[in-house]
Copies of this chain bind each other. A is one copy, B any other.
Amino acid sequence: MKLTTKGRYAVMALADIAKFDRNSPISLRDISLRQGISLLYLEQIFSKLRKNEIVKSVRGSSGGYILTKNPEQIKLSNIFSAVDEKVKTVNCKKESKKGCNGKSSKCITHNLWDELELHINDFFNKKNLGDLVKGKNENTI
């Protein structure tokens, strides 16, 4: 059970942007250097973030990306769904009435995994980008 780099990098990069002035765009090149993430990979991630209106882009030289909202308004769950980082704990299709083993009813552990999924998503709903950049004076980059 682990987090993939897409979700992790998306949050890292957005937190990086959030630390700076909201009005001047931040280039992916800078983020790449500061956070140690491949530029090409970042482009892939930001394409999704832009389509989901988490950021908007400014083209041309000295362009880059700007958050569309205040950091406090951007929840982790928004970011994760934008980059397709989903939490999947059940083995079956949720909508279906069938269980994961093909049986006609849900398996004995189904409710447990479902609870776990809620538990995790709860965390992502509570946390926002603002929470990450509050302590600007910390020794983190």
Residues on A facing B (Cβ under 8 Å): 1-5, 7-8, 11-12, 15-16, 19, 35-37, 76, 85-89, 91, 99-103, 105-110, 112-113, 115-116, 119-120, 123, 127, 131-133, 139-141
Closest-CB distance, A14 to chain B (whole angstroms): 10
Q: CA–CA, A115 to B19, complex, Å?
A: 21
Say yes or no: B116 contacts A35, CB within 8 Å.
no
Q: CA–CA, A97 to B5, complex, Å?
A: 21
Say yes or no: A85 contacts B1, CB within 8 Å.
yes
Say yes or no: A109 contacts B12, CB within 8 Å.
yes
Closest-CB distance, A16 to chain B (whole angstroms): 7
Say yes or no: A109 contacts B3, CB within 8 Å.
no
A-B contact pairs, 19 of them (CB 8 A): A1-B2, A1-B4, A2-B89, A8-B91, A11-B112, A12-B107, A15-B109, A16-B108, A35-B101, A36-B101, A37-B101, A105-B139, A108-B140, A108-B141, A109-B132, A110-B140, A116-B120, A119-B119, A119-B123
Name 16 extra pairs, CB < 8 A, besides A1-B120, A35-B107, A116-B123.
A1-B1, A1-B2, A1-B86, A1-B87, A3-B113, A8-B91, A12-B108, A19-B108, A36-B102, A105-B139, A106-B140, A108-B140, A110-B140, A112-B132, A116-B120, A119-B119
Say yes or no: B1 contacts A3, CB within 8 Å.
yes
Residues of chain B contacted by A109 (CB below 8 angstroms): 8, 11-12, 15, 132
